[in-house]
Amino acid sequence: MKIAVIGSGYVGLVAGTCFAETGNQVLCVDKDPAKIEDLKAGRIPIYEPGLEELVRRNVAEERLSFTTDTDAAVKASTVVFIAVGTPPGDDGSSDLSMVLAVARAIGKAMDGYKVIVDKSTVPVGTARKVAEAIRSQTSHPFDVVSNPEFLKEGAAIDDFMKPDRVVIGCDDPRVAEIMKELYSPFVRTGKPLLAMDVASAEMTKYAANAMLAARISFMNEMALLCEKVGADVDAVRRGIGTDSRIGPAFLFPGVGYGGSCFPKDVKALLKTSEENGLELHTVRAAEAANERQKTVLFSKLKAHFKGDLKGRTVGVWGLAFKPRTDDMREAPSIVLVEALLAAGAKVRAADPEAMKEARKIFGDRITYCAKPYDAVDGVDALVLVTEWNEFRHPDFDRMKGLMKSPVLFDGRNIWAGRRLAAQGWTYHGIGVRE
């Protein structure tokens, strides 16, 4: 099948590359000439495990190509994916200006029937707006499909190639068959391909992310209560996660969710509910709980140092919002580092992939360390924010020799706090006895 993917960011690049991997001819489009030249040369602008190798292979085998020419890409394709950003506005609503601009450009370029697929995360009703934008520019026939993505950063290739499910929203059964054919290589193991109406498909993406965000916030609130009553949240997590009605996923306490999806999508869902005269109490509470959770590590640091962090040096392991990505958007580390700097502390930070992105946020206000042990040299305390595998089994004896004082704040509960305490460390976890 001949496919155009307009928008070569995270979602567009992953989708286009995976479609090419299954034998389709794919043209990925982006308006940034420098990005396109980098992609042609096999240089990937994002960190995603396995993506660079996949891009290079499919470019070499001439199934995947890159261009800035939207007009040519649309004319050469039967199915056109829209995969541009929908950044949040000040009021939490999704900014659809790029989506609708692309829709108009598609309409101008059309020379025959096309299937237009919304891959961007968009609120309910966007497919109708996309159709209106296209119709304003062309008399050629077309159909608009909602096909939300469910990719986890750090595992996007596996998520696309082996999805839990594929959601297709369209009003014409013939169009659904085209989409089913396109996705057939990815659902051969029996995973469901769910065809539904367009509005339900658009809603599914937001409902899924709001549910996951609520689970995270619920468990983080349980962690705070465990600290108050002397319970161990990890024991509680195991106790409830083995209930088949609940399950173990997304029950690990931590320092709050971040990234490009959960914060933005929760806000957009709340805005949609407001516009329809409905208050989503559970979703609102999940968002508020998450904002509070992002401050927990700083509160623990402040309490440990009796309210005075001025002149202290704090090591930070992990800056990306999660492991296996360089994404700093809405990262809990930002809240922590900014609070430390405002309190007069110095920060030494290490992250395997996010240092370049972190520099865009913090500039020269913190010290960037190429190696994790450099980040603990001379510090008054170490804070673990992101649970990279590289941080799971460090040499604690070596760390103790480098630090001014053996104080750990484990924001992900990945270290054995009781054993470390027996070895002379002061250990602070999330929702565990200290």
User: Which candidate, 315, 317, 320, 288, places its Cα nearest to that of 379?
Assistant: 315
Known active-site residue 28:
no
d(CA 367, CA 370): 10
DSSP letter string over 353-381?
S-HHHHHHHHTTSSEE-SSGGGGGTT-SE
Other Cβ atoms closer than 10 A to 306? 7
Q: What is the radius of gyration, based on Cα positions, of the chain? A: 24
Phi, psi of 333 (to 5 degrees): -60, -30
Which of these is catalytic: 28, 226, 261, 369?
A: 261
Tokens of 294: 């992002």
Residues 6+ apart with CB under 8 A from 159: 150, 151, 152
Cα distances from 193 to residues 12, 181, 386, in angstroms, run: 20, 11, 34
Tokens of 225: 């209560």
Tokens of 140: 């050629």
Residues carrying an active site annotation: 261
